[in-house]
Structure 1
Amino acid sequence: MERVTLKILFFMGIAILVSSSDPVVTTELGEIIGKTTTLPLDLLPYKDVHQYLGIPYAKAPVGERRFLKPEVLSNLIAPYDAKSHGAMCPQSTFGPIAVTMSEDCLFLNVYVPDQPSDKPSGHAVMVWIHGGGFREGAGSQYDGSFIAAYGNVIVVTINYRLGLFGFLSTGDKTVPGNAGLWDQRMALQWVHTHIESFGGDKGRVTVVGGSAGAISTMLQGFMPDNHGLFQRIITQSGSISMPVNDMEKDVKSDFKLIATTVGCLEDDISDIVACLRGKSVEDLLSGISPIAFSLNFSPIIDDDFLKINPQHISRLSESERLNEVEFFRSLDILSGFNAYEGVFFLPFMLLTNQIKDFTPSREEMSNQLVTNALSYLYKKQTFQNEITKLVEAQHTTWTNPSDSDNIRLQLVKIIGDGSFCVPAIEISRLHKQSTSSRNFMYHFTPNPSYRRLPMPSWLPGSTHADEVPFMFGSTEKVGVGEENAWELVLLTNMVTYWTNFIKSGDPNRPTAITPHWPEYNLETGDYLKLEKSMSNSSAGQYFYEEEANFWLHVFPDLVNAISKEDGSCDHDNYSNAANTFSFVIYTLIFGVVLGLSFFLY
């Protein structure tokens, strides 16, 4: 039963009693009733935040709408009770979840600071797109109250369809795919249309995302039809040139496998889709569970939302003018990554659960580990011995080459640089060519007391997603205890930098903060190092220049040269080798590790 019917039944049974203290917003869709939360923190001059939770931004994607683009919702049952989160989208889980799961899940949440806006035009707006490998997560897992109150911006968190429901494709017009990306775009259109009713400035909207959410944010930032919906983007540990999958994959094989597995053995594609639409959410999730992590549920080139493979966009832009790149360059961007991103993938690369006791030798690095790392970074590719030796030499601490601590950290660096770090540099370089828009980069390095995901104790610094609790102001998890007081300082500074950028396109203003964050530039590679102590945080130069030179030029050039010499490889397979990432491994890791973390941060 769809939400409208449920609402009608609800209003037939009882009348809503609205407290005089409940905030009410009047929109074109009708009245929306929220609630006020007071944050118990002395460091906040304004402690009250108005929360409007579980607002539907599209029609329920059920029945004939399953697997297709979202449809506009023209009105709400008014007054709409927005005091609790809506359901999260269907996904496989590995532990308890705090929010109901339902296919009727296209909800967003709005956090409005109870204080004057910084400009007469209204509050600047941050829209958060969550990560989770395009398979997991929900907007309700991220409380925007602290950012709203401390940074004086409106925060919007969204759901979008995931996995089978968000990224199934038949390879034709029957089910084109990318429904999850279209969900995100409709949420952005909703913000553009309605955020002024909440006191927001639709001319100052910043889309922010982490991991798969960062990739989503960047994909939205490369879609020219999004012009005017937002003016800035922030991407954290994710880049379209990674990417998380082969966006030109043969989706028909996955589609046929799914149909066979769940018992939709029909001859015609439209009949198979009709059969899939007739299955319950539970039957589909349980039916595909044995094969779930062999399926490529993620964005694809559909000639509608995505027309150019992001893996090739930097190279193509060198010889032709691309509308996607021109729109991207019109946006202000802030991007970066963490110190030890690669450790996130280490347990699966080694196929062992003894990572805490992992003490590799030089021989293991030479004979096995480098080869394993390359096989995880590059899909369906094998490399000559000369290539693996080159990578090993580049990633050896020559002052103490046999030390196991050095070896394991260099292995982590191979994985992290090839997947997250260098692709982020590549896209920032693409943005800075022929553009007057602002561009800022960061490197988050400290070893936090709280981690979103379980990590080995030998890790000396931050890994994947460690920055998220800091930028979200999760004071209940970060900065707890006297020994971790430094974290609270870093937290408030990061929120200031982020919300400054959201307001002005410059992390240094309007709220004064030190150290000064220099703008990224192609000649000097300026960036900000976010370290344990803000007194140690400082501006740096030539950010990842050596690593980018190796992975974007030296490595692929040598691979091409050797492949031409022995004739074993096609040149085009390696022309953008440094940007290719194994989807199977990525989704396996996100599916299991993020699932085991119960989506908490």
Structure 2
Amino acid sequence: MVTLGILVAVAVLLETVSATSLGAVYTEGGLVEGKNIRLGFRRHMDIFKGVPFADMPGRFEKPKRHPGWGGVLKATEFRPRCLQPNLISTDSRGSEDCLYLNIWVPHGSSVAKDLPVMVWIYGGAFLVGGSMGANFLDNYLYDGQEIAERGKVIVVTLGYRLGTLGFLSTGDSSMPGNYGLWDQQAAIAWVHRNIRSFGGDPDNITIFGESAGGASVSFQTITPHNKGLFKRAISQSGVSLCPWAVNRNPRRFAEEVALKVNCPIDDTMAACLKMTDPVQLTMAGFIDMNSSPDSPIVNNLVLAAVIDGDFLPDEPSNLFHNAADIDYIAGVNNMDGHIFSGVDFPSINSININTPLEDVKRLLAAHTKEKGAAGYQNAYSTYSSAWDNPSNPSQTTIKKTIVEIGTDYIFLVPIQAALYLHASNAGTGRTYSYVLTEPNRMGGLLKPYPSWMGADHADDLQFVFGKPYTTPIGYWPRHRDLSGYMIAYWTNFAKTGDPNNGDLKVPATWPRFTGDGAQYLEIHNKMNKNYIKQRMRLRYVNFWTSILPNLPTIASE
């Protein structure tokens, strides 16, 4: 017994003495030191929070390199998120000084070396969000620890400018826009230049993101400015082709903002905006949350990327040749549109209030108005043809159809279109498609979620970031299974470009997406080989990408 106690004590002592840590790390700006934590026997992790990747940005200017610092920068606290409205849009939060990133580095029995790197770009409609994500009792949504430890990868999360300061554009060279995208690009380039010092492989970087972050990932793959900076990319619930991802009339919104902050709307508008208080500018970019079936809320999301002739030299659909050698995963949650549909049609979440069939018709008319009656009639026949009783559909059918229309139009169809474009332009790049169908955890339990709910927008985040492991009390064992599967697919892909091959076993072999078979993986806690499907919602993809665009346009804005 004594001998065993001595052996354990010696083992603990040896591990303590040989604790694996990077210590102070040399970067181009100076030395940084994070926090080292013990995860288990011979398992440690270095966590760096608040590492500057660029200088404090000039107002409506591209980011510039950080001038550096003396001594050792203690990187142990998250820095403020970029300036944005608070959750109820009554005030602002965050700072203009926000171009920082966070790094999680896992170590085994020796210090990390040549690990694959995964760089996260958060979502939030280009209006809100932060590199650390939402916080509940010091448990941050985008804490990279579970992905890094389980997948043996380095995880990086970055900050970028949002709202007016990140995406306002006058539509000309005086204020071209896309500042938030340039921030992301500066962070990716910084990681490429510096990650070797942290034990990462600069030639094996994967960027991944969700919603506006997924669209951002897509933009970063198709811009000509990123050649050679990263190898792979994952877009969750957002791509550059989404109807909310590009603003084709930025001048109009810039003039609205200018009038709110008492700037002229002539040649001096840009100069005046650049001198305006940043909080005023941020609050002036507030998006109107009022919507109706005839004017869905997605149409209000006007702060977005612009075709500026520089970051985006052309329409996104014409730039996919730039992603020819990038391995790409893109996918959708099967009820991604619910979050928007619930704002436009609150009755869909109520058991006691009926949703009139007229609402389906009004929503389809709103999304097809440029094509007039022919557009609407084609849309209505496409969606009603799947109903059991087209002349008198049930309430569940009506409510689910509204969510399906929202999901198709806002997310699923543009994501499928991006996958086809990626595959058809591919050189060495591989293409993979998925749909997450895991029912929302609130479905059938709590309002405002009906019992038929599938995976809502952002439901994937908790599983990718391992929350069922971090906070087990909030989840069932099936959720831990699902989280393990997603971390395995994502990190295997980051290592090898093939989600099936890496250090972690997966429950089903995920086939590549090609223009012919259009195969995809349905992600669920009960996955097996039967979860390999093909031609996702083909009838509806065909309607939105082929039938509707070929109808004559009767009116344009």
Shorter-normalised TM range:
0.7 to 0.9
2:127 corresponding residue in structure 1: 135
Quick one: structure 1 residues 379 and 285, their matched pair in 2 at CA, closer, same or farther if it must change by over 3 Å? farther
How far apart are 1:342 and its partner, in Å?
Answer: 1.8
Structure possessing the higher relative contact order (Cα contacts under 8 Å, 6 or more residues apart)? 1
Higher deviation after alignment, 437-446 or 129-138 = 437-446
> Partners in 1 of 2:391 and 2:456 — Cα distance?
24
Match of 1:356 among 350, 353, 356: 350
How far apart are 1:47 and its partner, in Å?
Answer: 5.0
Contact kept, 8 Å, 2:523 with 2:531, in 1: the verdict is: yes
How far apart are 1:289 and its partner, in Å?
Answer: 4.7
Match of 1:297 among 303, 308, 314: 303
Higher deviation after alignment, 121-130 or 207-216 = 121-130
How far apart are 1:396 and its partner, in Å?
Answer: 2.3
Establish whether residue 386 from structure 1 lines up as the match of residue 377 from structure 2.
Answer: yes
Report the residue type matching 2:411 in the other structure.
Answer: F
Establish whether residue 340 from structure 1 lines up as the match of residue 335 from structure 2.
Answer: yes
* 3-state SS in 2 of match to 1:467: helix
Contact kept, 8 Å, 1:24 with 1:31, in 2: the verdict is: yes
1:584 corresponding residue in structure 2: none
- Residue by residue, what CA displacement relative to the aligned partner does 1:113-168 show, whole Å, maximum 9, x if unpaired? 122799x9600000101000000001011111110111000011011000110012
* 3-state SS in 1 of match to 2:420: helix
2:44 corresponding residue in structure 1: 48
RMSD of aligned Cα (Å): 3.1
2:7 corresponding residue in structure 1: none
Quick one: structure 1 residues 72 and 416, their matched pair in 2 at CA, closer, same or farther if it must change by over 3 Å? same
1:8 corresponding residue in structure 2: none
1:599 corresponding residue in structure 2: none
* 3-state SS in 2 of match to 1:139: coil
Contact kept, 8 Å, 1:130 with 1:137, in 2: the verdict is: yes
How far apart are 1:339 and its partner, in Å?
Answer: 1.3
Quick one: structure 1 residues 245 and 461, their matched pair in 2 at CA, closer, same or farther if it must change by over 3 Å? closer
Quick one: structure 1 residues 466 and 20, their matched pair in 2 at CA, closer, same or farther if it must change by over 3 Å? closer
* 3-state SS in 1 of match to 2:350: helix
Calculate the TM-score normalised by the size of structure 2: 0.84
Establish whether residue 277 from structure 1 lines up as the match of residue 274 from structure 2.
Answer: yes
Matches within 5 A, 1:390-429: 390-398=381-389, 402-429=393-420
1:12 corresponding residue in structure 2: none
Quick one: structure 1 residues 265 and 201, their matched pair in 2 at CA, closer, same or farther if it must change by over 3 Å? same
Contact kept, 8 Å, 1:525 with 1:545, in 2: the verdict is: no
Quick one: structure 1 residues 77 and 353, their matched pair in 2 at CA, closer, same or farther if it must change by over 3 Å? farther
> Partners in 2 of 1:290 and 1:111 — Cα distance?
34
How far apart are 1:496 and its partner, in Å?
Answer: 0.8
2:314 corresponding residue in structure 1: 308
Quick one: structure 1 residues 172 and 523, their matched pair in 2 at CA, closer, same or farther if it must change by over 3 Å? closer
> Partners in 1 of 2:276 and 2:369 — Cα distance?
33
How far apart are 1:530 and its partner, in Å?
Answer: 1.1
Could you tell me the percent identity over the aligned residues?
31
How far apart are 1:505 and its partner, in Å?
Answer: 0.3
2:433 corresponding residue in structure 1: 441
Segments of 5+ residues of structure 2 without an aligned counterpart are 1-18, 134-141, 291-299
> Partners in 1 of 2:89 and 2:106 — Cα distance?
31
Quick one: structure 1 residues 494 and 537, their matched pair in 2 at CA, closer, same or farther if it must change by over 3 Å? farther
> Partners in 2 of 1:476 and 1:121 — Cα distance?
26
Matches within 5 A, 1:490-569: 490-511=482-503, 512-535=505-528, 538-557=531-550, 559-560=551-552, 568-569=554-555
> Partners in 2 of 1:513 and 1:446 — Cα distance?
17
Contact kept, 8 Å, 2:21 with 2:45, in 1: the verdict is: no
Report the residue type matching 2:490 in the other structure.
Answer: W
2:258 corresponding residue in structure 1: 259
Matches within 5 A, 1:181-200: 181-200=181-200
Higher deviation after alignment, 170-179 or 224-233 = 170-179
> Partners in 2 of 1:554 and 1:83 — Cα distance?
54
Quick one: structure 1 residues 299 and 266, their matched pair in 2 at CA, closer, same or farther if it must change by over 3 Å? closer
How far apart are 1:46 and its partner, in Å?
Answer: 6.6
Calculate the TM-score normalised by the size of structure 1: 0.79
2:221 corresponding residue in structure 1: 221
Segments of 5+ residues of structure 1 without an aligned counterpart are 1-18, 317-323, 574-601
* 3-state SS in 2 of match to 1:204: strand
* 3-state SS in 2 of match to 1:209: strand
- Residue by residue, what CA displacement relative to the aligned partner does 1:498-547 show, whole Å, maximum 9, x if unpaired? 00000110011122322111111222222211113245872223333333
Report the residue type matching 1:280 in the other structure.
Answer: D
> Partners in 1 of 2:488 and 2:287 — Cα distance?
45
Aligned length: 516
Quick one: structure 1 residues 476 and 291, their matched pair in 2 at CA, closer, same or farther if it must change by over 3 Å? same
> Partners in 1 of 2:110 and 2:381 — Cα distance?
55
Contact kept, 8 Å, 1:233 with 1:332, in 2: the verdict is: yes
> Partners in 1 of 2:31 and 2:288 — Cα distance?
45
Quick one: structure 1 residues 359 and 520, their matched pair in 2 at CA, closer, same or farther if it must change by over 3 Å? farther
